Structures are given as C-alpha cells and as structure tokens.
Amino acid sequence: MSEQTLFKVTVDNITIEVPAGTTILQAARQIGGTVAPPAMCYYSKLKGSGGKCRTCLVEVSKGSEKDPRPMPKLVASCRTTVMDGMEVKNITSEKVLDARAGIVEFLLLNHPLDCPICDQAGECHLQDLSFEHGKSGTRYEFQRRTFKKHDLGKHIQLHMTRCILCYRCVFTADQLTNKREHGILDRGDHAEIATHIEKSLDNEFIGNVIDVCPVGALTDKTFRFKSRVWFTKPVDAHRNCDKCSGKVVLWLAGNDVLRVTGRKDEWGEVKEFICNTCRFEKKNQEDWMIEGPRKLNRHSVISQNHYALKPKPFKALENTAKQ
C-alpha cells in the first residue's frame, strides 16, 4: 500500500500538513478558529457545492515550493486545492478583508431587514457574516427585488427575498431525494428558487433543505413564529427510525418540543441527515430518548443561555450530606 502524499501549507502564518487534493478551506478548518474563512455556499457533504458566494476568498502569497510566484487574484478557498509549500493569507490580508466586506455588501443588496421577525435569527450565517465582516451602512439606493410567492407545501416556508442563491437546497434535493422538484429558475437578477409548476416538496428527506439553508429563505412551518431560538433549550435525543439514524436535536420550551433538527458541527453543517418523520411528526418527548443538553459550538447568539450543570466533586456532595 503506497504512502499518502502530504503537502505543507501555511495559512495566516500557521503551518499544517494535509493530504494532496485538500482544498485551502479544508486545511484552514483543520487549524480552526478565525483562520478558517467563512463559507455560505460550500457544504462538505454535498457534491458540487462551493464557488458561488465568494465569501471564502483568500490571498495566495506563494503558489508552491516549485513555483513561488503569488497568484495574481484572490481565489475561492473552497475550490482551490493546496500545493506543497503554499502560503495563504486570510485575516492577515487587507485585500481579503476589503474584498469580503464588498461581498457582504453585495449579498445584502436585496436582503430585507427581516431579522426581527425571521425564524432564522440567532442562528443565521448571514447575520454573523455581516456582523464580523460587513459595514454599518449601504450605498444601495434602488428598489429591492421582489418575487411572486410560491407554496412549497405544509412543512417548508419559502422567503425568496432572503435567498442568496447558494444552491445548497438544490444539491440536497438532488443528492438525498428520489426526485428533485425545485431548482433555480431564470437568470441574473430574476433568478429564484421555485418549482416550475406549483408543486409541494414532499420527498422523505426534503426537510433537510431547512437545515442546510444558511439564511432564513427556507424555514420550518411547524416552528413558524413560535419562539426565538435563544429562548429554547436544545437537547440531544435519538429514536429507533427505519429511515434515518434518528439522531437529532430537540428544541424545547418547557416540556413542549417546538422543533426538531439535525445535529450540526461547528461549521453549521449537519452531521447526519434526518427524515421528515423525525423532523415534522415526532413532536412529543415520549417519542425520544433524551441524551442531555446540546453543546453548541456556534459563536453567535444561539449559544447563549444554554447552560449545562457541572457535576459536583464527590467530597462536596459528602459534606452536603453530613450537614
């Protein structure tokens, strides 16, 4: 068995060895923290994703050991593979920070100020992106685009004015379900997510488009306007399901299950996709085996007010019992 080829790549002055074929974004995520560029369209579990939002642009100051010339333009880190000896600048590059601020402004051109009423508020990647890399104002003075409303069925709510055309939901429907019924219609400024003929999305795994959407364009109708996410208590739970792994996060308000989602990692990506039965139909605690509080890795407001009790030392318990 041949040994795996490893390339040395330096991202923001931190060197790491990764296998050949690894993208700059994947290498930066192995380092973690602020070194990893933000990504609104890339999704590691969806083939073909990435290269559309341009938020992960980085500067390659050294191409490789064999060809040390810098790349003339900023490159999309989710699509560019590393070379041995490559040096990359992310937050240490003024060009990158300036370009990223421009990308954020571009993504917000037609985005409505729906945060006070949007169910995605508190766990929205666009909120985090605009807070960290955006500017306080906008130069856009024209009328924002509007769309005809499309009904996608009893479970999924579409707000096309919030969509940033990341294509994640299209790839999810393509790769997880038997038949994709929605897609991108029209081109340019008229492009929108819709079904060509008014049709509801009712495939067994189509609810995962809610989890992969980075903004509030696709939301859960069963959770609509019920609560803010930071007022709910997320807990890990599982059940025996013949369609999926059954491993989910329950979002509780008291004893009520307000919504059910897949378990996400620190990059906001679902670890295991779940079926519609688990997501929409099992809304009682009796349906689930609760494992414990969910430890959220996100840095936004969604991680606030979710406290896990620390076990007391045995001696402290012993002293308490004596008193």
Question: 102: which 2 tokens?
Answer: 């421009």
How far apart, in Å, do the first and last CA atoms of the chain sit? 65
* 308 confidence band (pLDDT: 50, 70, 90): low
DSSP single-letter state for residue 4: P
The three-state secondary structure class of 185 is strand
Nearest partner of 180 among 210, 201, 198, judged by Cα = 201
* 309 confidence band (pLDDT: 50, 70, 90): low
- The rounded Cα 161 to chain-centroid distance in angstroms is 19
- 90 CB contacts (<8 Å, ≥6 apart)? 11, 12, 28, 34, 35, 36, 37, 58, 59, 77, 96
Domain borders along the chain are: 6-105, 125-135+145-302
Kindly tell me if the per-residue pLDDT of 208 is higher than 80: yes
Least confident of 37-51, 143-157, 245-259: 143-157
- 183 CB contacts (<8 Å, ≥6 apart)? 170, 193, 194, 196
Kindly tell me if the per-residue pLDDT of 93 is higher than 80: yes
The residue type of 62 is K
* Overall size of the chain counted in residues: 323
Q: Which pLDDT value is given to residue 317?
A: 43
- Partners of 62 in the beta sheet? 87
Higher pLDDT, residue 301 or 141 = 141
Note the helical H segments in 108-182. 125-133, 168-176
In the sheet where 86-89 sits, what is the strand order?
14-19, 6-11, 86-89, 57-62, 75-76
Q: Comparing 6-105 with 125-135+145-302, is the CATH topology the same? A: no
Given a contact cutoff of 8 angstroms between Cβ atoms, the answer to whether 125 and 40 are in contact is: yes
Say how far apart CA 203 and CA 279 lie, in whole Å.
Answer: 13
3-state secondary structure 38-66: CCCCCCCCCCCCCCCCCCCEEEEEECCCC
**What is the percentage of the chain residues whose pLDDT exceeds 90?**
59
Q: CATH fold of 6-105, please?
A: Ubiquitin-like (UB roll) (3.10.20)
Cα radius of gyration (the chain): 22
DSSP single-letter state for residue 270: B
Kindly tell me if the per-residue pLDDT of 320 is higher than 60: no
Least confident of 72-81, 121-130, 131-140: 131-140
Given a contact cutoff of 8 angstroms between Cβ atoms, the answer to whether 235 and 257 are in contact is: no
Say how far apart CA 134 and CA 92 lie, in whole Å.
Answer: 17
What dihedral angle (degrees, nearest 10) is formed by the CA atoms of 269, 272, 277, 279?
Answer: -30
Pairing assessment for the beta strands 86-89 and 6-11 based on DSSP bridges: parallel
- The rounded Cα 65 to chain-centroid distance in angstroms is 34
Question: What's the CATH number for 125-135+145-302?
Answer: 3.30.70.20
Given a contact cutoff of 8 angstroms between Cβ atoms, the answer to whether 9 and 24 are in contact is: yes
